[in-house]
């Protein structure tokens, strides 16, 4: 057996044994943490995910009795940060912000991935969710989703749509929308949402799925048209915008979630305590207001086990969309 495979097998066995020991030792959670906790964010400082991480880090520290320190490790489509955390000691002192579908489907989007997102991590807790608006440049004729689909069908392959990157929920969500409606648009990936929204405003790439934080001010100013909401639930900041599901596509439901993961083998009592404290923070009204101001909604109250199942189901769901769309790893 090659050394790397033997190492991963030995690590998974050790992780499983550690989990068994942890189940028999509930006092582990009472003793943890014994030093500051590092929250690794796989994006640059100042971005939306970094802001979300800092919102929670500031509030979790007092509950845990140790500071939660944010460590930004951008690059590699989030794989640099994930690879580092996968190799960290499974003691609850190093955790990672993860997001769908970038994290769960990293293997389908990246060649020679050094970790397995499901086997090499333990789910911890959800931090928040975010849905998107199907936005078009205001110079385009359509004023409704039905008109947009008809317009795209009349111009096959002539419309470009942008996303913040390959494998982002904006990208894969649009590929699912294309498959459901039978329209043909060309994907133009960007390295983040800043330049993307500028090019949509300029009409260079006239279509995108965008969060309210990125698109809202431009919709209010009449520079973009927000035709529909990607999620079945209303967007908190724009409850008047109809969902794609309500406009004739009942199976369409796309939103991103953000959460915490820890190295495989982290004791279950530690995972469960961190999950409980995250939910305490998430239930605070001031946190809800702060999150909604930066474009997020508070998370469902998933247990550790429920979040783990969410990871697996999302991996299967998005994996099929990646395969059906013929998206190749880079």
For 221-280, write each residue's pLDDT tens digit: 999 999 999 999 888 888 899 999 999 999 999 999 999 999 999 999 999 999 999 999
**Which of the two residues, 182 and 326, has the higher pLDDT score?**
182
* pLDDT, position 21: 45
**φ, ψ at 212 (rounded to 5°):** -60, -35
Tokens 């769908």, located at residue = 100
CATH 3.40.190.150 in the chain, residue ranges: 3-130+255-324
Q: Are 260 and 97 in contact (CB under 8 A)?
A: yes
pLDDT tens, residue by residue, 19-70: 444 444 456 667 899 999 999 999 888 878 888 999 999 999 999 999 999 9
Radius of gyration of the chain (CA): 20
Within its chain, how far is the Cα of 140 from the centroid?
A: 30
CATH number for 133-247 (one of 1.10.150.530, 3.40.50.300, 3.40.190.10, 3.30.1600.10): it is 3.40.190.10
Please tell me the distance from the alpha carbon of residue 266 to that of residue 18, in angstroms, as a whole number: 7
Please tell me the distance from the alpha carbon of residue 164 to that of residue 168, in angstroms, as a whole number: 7
**What proportion of the chain, given as a percentage, has pLDDT over 70?**
91
- Taking all residues of the chain, what is their mean pLDDT, rounded to a whole number? 89
- Is residue 82 predicted with pLDDT exceeding 80? yes
CATH 3.40.190.10 in the chain, residue ranges: 133-247
Q: Write out the two tokens for 122.
A: 């333990």
User: 148-151: long-range contacts (C-beta < 8 A, 24 or more apart)?
Assistant: 148/227, 149/181, 149/183
Average pLDDT over residues 203-222: 93
**Please, what CATH class does the domain formed by 3-130+255-324 belong to?**
alpha beta
Quote the pTM value.
0.84
* pLDDT, position 28: 61
Tokens 């133009």, located at residue = 188
CA distances from 118 to 42, 48, 86, 312 (A): 17, 24, 11, 7
């Amino acid at each position: 057996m090659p050394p790397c495979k033997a190492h991963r097998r030995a690590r998974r066995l050790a992780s499983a044994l550690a989990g068994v020991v942890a189940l028999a030792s509930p006092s582990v959670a009472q003793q943890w943490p014994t030093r500051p906790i590092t929250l690794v964010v796989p994006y640059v400082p100042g971005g939306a995910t970094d802001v979300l991480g800092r919102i929670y880090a500031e509030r979790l520290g007092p509950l845990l009795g140790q500071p939660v320190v944010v460590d930004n490790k951008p690059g590699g489509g989030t794989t640099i940060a994930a690879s580092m955390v996968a190799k960290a000691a499974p003691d609850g002192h190093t955790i990672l912000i993860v997001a769908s579908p970038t994290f769960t489907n990293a293997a389908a989007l990246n060649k020679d991935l050094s970790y397995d997102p499901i086997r090499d991590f333990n789910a911890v807790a959800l931090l928040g969710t975010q849905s998107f608006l199907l936005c078009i440049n205001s110079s385009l004729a359509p004023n409704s989703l039905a008109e947009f689909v008809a317009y795209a069908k009349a111009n096959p392959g002539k419309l470009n749509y942008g996303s913040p990157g390959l494998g982002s929920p904006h990208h894969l969500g649009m590929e699912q929308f294309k498959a459901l409606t039978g329209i043909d648009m060309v994907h133009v990936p960007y390295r983040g949402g800043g330049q993307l929204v500028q090019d949509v405003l300029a009409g260079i790439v006239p279509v995108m799925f965008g969060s309210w934080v990125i698109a809202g001010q431009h919709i209010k100013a009449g520079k973009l048209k927000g035709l529909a909401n990607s999620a079945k639930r209303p967007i908190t900041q724009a409850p008047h915008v109809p969902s794609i599901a309500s406009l004739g596509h009942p199976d369409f439901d796309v939103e991103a979630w953000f959460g915490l993961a820890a190295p495989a083998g982290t004791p279950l009592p530690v995972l469960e305590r961190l999950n409980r404290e995250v939910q305490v923070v998430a239930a605070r009204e001031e946190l809800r207001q702060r999150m909604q101001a930066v474009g997020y909604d508070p998370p469902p109250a998933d247990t550790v086990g429920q979040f783990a199942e969410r990871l697996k189901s999302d991996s299967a769901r998005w994996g099929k969309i990646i395969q059906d769309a013929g998206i190749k790893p880079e």
